[in-house]
C-alpha cells in the first residue's frame, strides 16, 4: 500500500496574492481536488498533506470537511520541496512500503493515471508520471545560443505523481544529506543516487496551477471532462 504526500506548502509567488492551493475549481479547493483523486485509489491507504507551517490546522480541518477520510495528518512544509517531502515522510506509517508524492497544484490528475504510476513504482521501485514532449527542445550554451537539439522522441516532461519504494527513498535521503535541497523533484533525488526511474506516460491535461489564468484553463478542462462523461 501507498502513503500519498500532497505538497501544498508553496509560496504561490506568481499568483498575484492568491494562494493557489485554496483557489477553487468547481467549488473545491485545488489541493483538496488533488488529494481526493488519491483518496479514490485502492492502492492508497493514507494521505499526508504538507501545508504552510502556520496553517496546518486550517488545511487539516478543510481536508476533513471535504470528506478526506484517508487523511492521516497535515504537517508543516519546509523551505524547499525536498524539505517538505522529508517532513511528510516522518509521518508515514511504519508498515507502509511505498510513497507517492504529488503537487497539490495539479488538481486534474485522475485516479486511473495515479494507479498506473503506482503499479510501475511497485514493479520497478521508482516511477514518475510524465508526458511525451511534442515540441522541439533546444539546449542553450552560456551565451543563449543553440548548442544542441536532442531527439524529441527521447524527451518527456516530468510531472507528478512520483512514487517510490519508501526504503529506497530513505536510503537516498541519507546518502545525499544536505544535497537534497538542490533537487527540483523527487526523481532527481533517485537519479543523484544512480537509481533507475520508470517513466509512466500520463495525460497532457495534468497541468500545474502556477498563474491566475491557469485556474480558468483548469476549470474549462474539468467542465469538459464532466460533459464528456455526462455528469
Burial pattern 46-59, b for ≥16 Cβ within 10 A else e, equals: bbbbbbbeebbeeb
Looking at the chain, the whole-number percentage of residues with pLDDT higher than 90 is 81
Question: Is the model's pLDDT at 18 over the cut of 70?
Answer: no
Q: Please give the pLDDT value at position 212.
A: 87
Round to whole Å and give the CA distance between 49 and 41.
16
Q: Is 3.90.550.10 the CATH classification of the domain at 2-229?
A: yes
R_g of the chain computed on alpha carbons: 18
The pTM score is: 0.93
Q: Please give the pLDDT value at position 11.
A: 64
Question: Is the model's pLDDT at 39 over the cut of 60?
Answer: yes
Q: For 110-145, how does the pLDDT look when each residue is reduced to its tens digit (9 = 90+)?
A: 999 999 999 999 999 999 999 999 999 999 999 999
Task: Show Cβ contacts of residue 225 under 8 Å, excluding neighbours closer than 6 positions.
Answer: none
**Domain map of the chain by residue range?**
2-229
Amino acid at each position: 500500500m501507498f502513503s500519498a504526500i500532497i505538497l501544498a506548502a508553496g509560496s504561490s509567488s506568481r499568483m498575484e496574492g492568491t494562494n493557489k492551493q485554496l483557489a477553487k475549481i468547481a467549488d473545491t479547493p485545488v489541493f483538496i481536488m488533488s488529494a481526493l483523486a488519491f483518496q479514490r485509489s485502492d492502492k492508497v491507504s493514507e494521505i499526508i498533506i504538507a501545508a504552510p507551517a502556520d496553517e496546518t490546522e486550517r488545511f487539516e480541518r478543510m481536508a476533513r470537511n471535504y470528506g478526506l477520510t484517508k487523511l492521516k495528518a497535515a504537517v508543516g512544509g519546509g523551505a524547499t520541496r525536498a524539505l517538505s517531502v522529508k517532513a511528510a515522510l516522518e509521518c508515514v506509517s511504519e508498515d507502509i512500503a511505498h510513497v507517492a508524492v504529488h503537487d497539490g497544484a495539479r488538481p486534474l490528475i485522475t485516479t486511473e493515471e495515479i494507479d498506473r504510476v503506482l503499479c510501475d513504482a511497485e514493479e520497478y521501485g521508482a516511477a514518475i508520471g510524465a508526458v511525451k514532449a511534442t515540441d522541439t527542445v533546444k539546449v542553450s550554451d552560456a551565451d543563449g545560443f543553440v548548442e544542441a537539439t536532442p531527439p524529441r522522441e527521447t524527451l518527456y516532461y516530468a510531472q507528478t505523481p512520483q512514487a517510490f519504494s519508501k526504503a529506497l527513498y530513505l536510503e537516498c535521503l541519507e546518502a545525499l544529506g544536505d544535497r537534497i535541497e538542490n533537487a527540483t523533484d523527487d526523481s532527481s533525488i533517485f537519479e543523484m543516487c544512480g537509481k533507475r526511474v520508470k517513466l509512466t506516460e500520463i495525460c497532457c491535461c495534468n497541468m500545474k496551477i502556477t498563474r491566475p489564468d491557469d485556474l480558468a484553463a483548469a476549470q474549462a478542462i474539468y467542465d469538459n471532462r464532466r460533459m464528456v462523461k455526462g455528469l
